[in-house]
Amino acid sequence: MPRRRFLKGGAGLTALAALGAAGAGTSLLAGCASDLTGSGTLPLPRPNNPVKWPVFAGNTAVKSGLAAEQGATLQIYIWEAYINQDVVNSFAKKYKCKAQITTFNTMNEALSKLRSGLTYDVLVGATPDVLGQLIEGKLAQPLNHSYIPNISQAWPDYTNPFYDAGWQYTVPYTIYTTGITWRKDKVDENPYAMKNPWAMPWQPKYSGRVAILDDYREGICLGLMKNGIFDLNTTDYKQIGLSRQSLQDLSSLVNLRISNTDYSDVPAGETWISSAWSGDMAAAESYMPKGVNVDVVGYWFPADGRGPVNNDTMAVLNGASNPVLAHLFLNYLLDLPNALNNISWNGYMQPLTGVTPQVLIKEQILPPSLTSTVVVPSNFRTGLFELQLPVDADALWQQAWLVVSNGI
């Protein structure tokens, strides 16, 4: 059903309003992975439903054995403040080219601009949940693996990830978890000792000091996990409604702040408990006030690895003016020294076998007290990925978040 038709007549809101009613009927949108389709005709990848994307006529990989484009300007399209300029400059120096970075603030903005016809060479930061849109829209081109031998440095899982079997279109960029960060010196509780650490924000005594990430997937997922629901791609409108209600309760309980500035607010002591991305908290030391040790900042992620895990990818865009350079750039970022240089600035770790907690501590990229922010290879298999949803379910998630984020 097209999203518009679903929402027309307030069907989406009516469904939301009915969610509070006890004993509501069967879920509106329950489904299993093999039945799910995205916005087009392509399937939705899941860990138990890996997808090998098609290669469309007229959108094939660049030929092998070509020399890098000479005197070119590599156009990199990436999230704002998400790559170390030094790494980009060193690439440009090595390949005797220029490199220009253009940034975007939201994935939707990036997709809209690409769809409107703007062309770049490389897209850095696309999460697996938008790959279907990128590929169906013929916005990304298949990779020629011969230009990217450094894939051998990545975790083995990335040579055949479920969201891009055979790594046809993407290589990994960063990997991160979503957990709970807290100030050990301000908060009595320790999530490691709690029965339900996901419920840690729901404590009225910390009113005014609690925040959650300003992201509809992360927000609703927190509500789901607090209620013991670990299908982070649920299409069950009752579960979505339960999460929404929990978040609304949280908002009333603690005068909830919704923001992505946890990376500075927690070190500064303005926020004491927050949901957080691991990469943000790995860089907490940079934001600590003078005289305050980073040891007071904690980051919790489930020991069994069953929590939100995600990775950003890199892709060569269709219509790239410099496809060979683009491939070489992907290869460059998969090289350990460059990756470590990038992580030292970015905070977000890259899934290379050489990036271990010991190396990160030895290189003074990560303080020992925050090794919990490190993502390990097993997290790829045990972690819960937030993936592309069917259009109608996505609409319910979005509407639920709109209600929560506007204090309704």
Question: Can you tell me which of 26, 48, 364, 406 binds another protein, judged by CB under 8 A?
Answer: 406
Question: Which two structure tokens, joined as six digits, stand for 351?
Answer: 């899934």
* 312 binding another protein? (CB under 8 A): no
Cα 255 to Cα 207: distance, rounded to the nearest angstrom: 6
* 112 binding another protein? (CB under 8 A): yes
Site for another protein, residues 24 to 53, rule: CB under 8 A = 39-40
**CB-nearer residue toward another protein: 67 or 408:** 408
Question: Can you tell me which of 124, 395, 396, 400 binds another protein, judged by CB under 8 A?
Answer: 395
Is-contact 45 389, C-beta < 8 A? no
Question: Can you tell me which of 19, 92, 111, 140 binds another protein, judged by CB under 8 A?
Answer: 111
Instruction: Draw the binding track, 203-242, toward another protein (x: CB under 8 A; -: no contact).
Output: -----xx-x--x-x--------------------------
Question: Can you tell me which of 150, 246, 251, 341 binds another protein, judged by CB under 8 A?
Answer: 251
Question: Can you tell me which of 30, 101, 258, 361 binds another protein, judged by CB under 8 A?
Answer: 258
| Percent helix / strand / coil, the chain, rounded to 5 | 45, 15, 40
- Which of these, 102, 129, 147, lies nearest to 311 by C-alpha position? 129
| H-run or E-run covering 124 | strand 122-126
Which residue pairs, CB below 8 angstroms and at least 24 apart, start in 363-367? 365/282, 365/340, 366/282, 367/284, 367/285, 367/294, 367/295
State the minimum distance, in angstroms, from the CB of residue 40 to another protein: 6
Question: Which two structure tokens, joined as six digits, stand for 189?
Answer: 């509780």
Report the b/e string of 7-28 with b at 16+ CB within 10 A. beeebbeebbeebeeeeeeeeb
**CB-nearer residue toward another protein: 14 or 85:** 14
* 405 binding another protein? (CB under 8 A): yes
* 54 binding another protein? (CB under 8 A): no
* 119 binding another protein? (CB under 8 A): no
Question: Which two structure tokens, joined as six digits, stand for 213?
Answer: 């990430």
Positions touching another protein (CB under 8 A) are: 2-4, 7-8, 10, 13-14, 16-17, 39-40, 106, 108, 111-112, 115, 133, 136-137, 208-209, 211, 214, 216, 251-252, 255-259, 261, 268-270, 289, 391, 394-395, 398, 401-408
